[in-house]
Amino acid sequence: MMERIGLEHGYTPIPPSREHLLKYQPTVRDLPPRSMADSFTSAIIPLSTSKTLQDMYVSYLGHVRFGRLMQDMDAFAVWVCHQHIQIPNLDKNIHLPYTFVTIMVDKIDFSSFRPKANCDIRLSGHVSWVGTSSMEIVVWLEQEFEGKYNKITRALFLMAARNATNTGPAPVNQIEPGNENEKNILIGGEVRKKKRIDIQKQSLLKVVPSMHEQSIMHEIFSRITRKDTIQLNKRILPPNGKWMADCSIMNTIPCFPEYRNAHNKIFGGFIMKTALENSWVCAYLHAKSRPKLETICDISFEKPVDVSSFLQMHAYVIYTELNYIVVMVVADVL
């Protein structure tokens, strides 16, 4: 990827200018349609043969750190974007006049299979839907164990195609399904697009909580309100309960060039890894036992983070039910 976009190894506080590539940005008419098979690609994380990688990926129990995998999946989604974009009229000696950034990640479910730190992991993915300048990438992970591949997780990344200087949108190749299966996947992508729009419209900043949400709030209110007084500022802590203010952690992280992209911004995979590991710590401290990651509802990125920034992460326990804990992580730049 570095060679294709013209990056050189080594950090410089001011990245090399890519303005000369703006004139090579294609129009929609310059981009031929692509099938999903055209963008399909896979890669292997060679944990079975690399002791160095084993040390980087292993948890203290001998399993693979999910945060590391999230970081790899984000980078892999960018690589899938590179496979999809095809500019026939671009000279082979000209670097790709594109920048790809992660907008959001849809719900991620994890299987019951616990990946081992000494067995290879395979990443696979392809473009599953495109807009004018956005692409939905499906990425899944499998691990070879005892002669067969076991599913670890699957995620949907919504990526934005930007111009060479990351100052405006860039068009992408449209999808022309190659078979019935690709047609169905593309239809599903349209459904997910509409669902994302509907979810944004249902934000608490825009609409009143639903009846179900109001009933949950009333039930919590009833449990913490004293019945012998009408004073609203007097609360009681139910048995086996904790105040929400005591169920959070905060961590401040300096952002180093190691995790930069072409524009000296911190890439999303590092932020996702750090947020996931902070949420795990928060859940561990709350439950006083080791939690198991079941699902990630969604991840969204609001603005870029500069190299040299201080990234402050707040992890909150926002809901519990039975043996489940919901943790929300918010990252801010100081």
Residues 4 and 133 in one domain: yes
Q: What angle, 0 to 180 degrees and rounded to 10, lies between the N-to-C axes of helices 66-84 and 268-287?
A: 150
- 3-class state of residue 23 by DSSP: helix
Is the same domain home to 43 and 155? yes
In angstroms, rounded to a whole number, what is the distance separating the alpha carbons of residues 101 and 200? 20
Q: Which residue reads 């449990």 in tokens?
A: 223
In a domain, 111, yes or no: yes
Three-state SS for 309? Answer: coil
Residues 180 and 299 in one domain: no
User: Are 140 and 280 part of one and the same domain?
Assistant: no
Question: Do both 77 and 3 map to the same domain?
Answer: yes
**Number of domains composing the chain:** 2
Q: Where are the alpha helices (DSSP H) in the chain?
A: 2-5, 36-39, 51-57, 66-84, 180-201, 211-224, 268-287
- Residue 226 confidence class, pLDDT cut points 50, 70, 90: confident
Q: What is the pLDDT of residue 58?
A: 95
Instruction: Determine the structural domain holding residue 300 and report its residue range.
Output: 243-333
On whether both 182 and 250 belong to a single domain, the answer is no
If asked whether residues 151 and 251 sit together in one domain, one would say no
Percentage above 90 pLDDT, the chain: 69
Residues 240-297 have pLDDT tens digits of 888 888 899 999 999 999 988 878 889 899 999 999 999 999 999 999 999 999 999 8
218 in a structural domain? no
Q: Is the pLDDT of residue 205 over 80?
A: no
Alpha-carbon distance of 284 to 61, in angstroms, equals 15
Is residue 100 included in any domain, yes or no?
yes
Last residue in a domain, options 188, 213, 232: 188
Residue 325's alpha-carbon distances to 177, 240, 247, 317, in angstroms, are 40, 14, 11, 7
- Give yes or no: residues 249 and 128 share one domain: no
Residue 38 lies in a domain: yes
Say yes or no: 178 and 302 in one domain.
Answer: no
Neighbour-count burial of 267, counting CB atoms closer than 10 A to its CB (0-12 exposed, 13-18 middle, 19+ buried): buried
Q: Which residue has the tokens 């899944």?
A: 140
- Structure-token pair, residue 282: 């928060």
Assessment of whether the complete model's pTM goes beyond 0.85: yes
Are 165 and 293 in the same domain?
A: no
According to DSSP, the residues that pair with 148 across neighbouring strands are 145
CATH of the domain at 326: 3.10.129.10
Which tens digit of pLDDT belongs to each residue from 96-149? 999 999 999 988 989 999 999 999 999 999 999 999 999 999 999 999 888 889
| Pair (182, 255) in one structural domain | no
> Pick from 188, 211, 232: which residue ends a domain?
188
The answer to whether 155 touches 17, Cβ cutoff 8 Å, is no
Q: Which of 188, 223, 255 is the last residue of a domain?
A: 188
Residue 13's pLDDT band, with cuts at 50, 70 and 90, is confident
Whether 226 is in a domain gets the answer: no
Is 209 a member of any domain? no
pLDDT (average), residues 147-172: 94
Is residue 208 situated within a structural domain? no
Residue 39 inside a domain? The answer is yes
